[in-house]
Amino acid sequence: MFICHGNICRSPMAEFILKDMVKKRGIADDFVIESSATSTEEIWGDVGNPVYPPAQRELASHGISCGDKRAVQLTKSDYARYDYLLCMDKMNLRNAQRILGTDKDNKLRMLLSFADGGSIADPWYCGNFDRTYSDIVRGCEGFLEYLGY
């Protein structure tokens, strides 16, 4: 599970980047890959907003579609469903901990902890969707290497 603030930029980009990577490697059946938000800002009633158009365009420029993905919020029950809950920045990590409670199995991590560390900048604010894409790819490659793929 990839986690960011609104689930319209970074975490869905990571979801579909990793889905593309594992499909191309022929290992997609080994994974359940989703994304979610720590906030409800992009969810109205029970309907989440779609992936932000500039994020969709960045993915599309690399041949990746995000289909009809809509924002959803992280839930406490997600902790039992996923082996890894990968956050984009420290605030996402803190907010995910608030939602999930105790991380007794050490599942909550920063995505870039599998690469060179640090946070993935939010392109909603910085406008750098290409850099976000590159950072996510680096994190996902490191994650797959960590898992032995």
CB 87, CB 68: distance < 8 Å: no
Question: So what's the pLDDT on residue 88?
Answer: 98
Torsion 35-36-42-46 (CA) sign? positive
CB 89, CB 124: distance < 8 Å: no
Give me 37's structure tokens: 């938000």
pLDDT, tens only, 34-63:
999 999 999 998 899 999 999 999 999 999
Question: What's the whole-model pTM score?
Answer: 0.97
Mean pLDDT by 10 residues, the chain (149 residues): 98 98 98 98 95 98 97 98 98 98 97 96 94 98 97
The residues carrying an active-site annotation are: 4, 10, 122
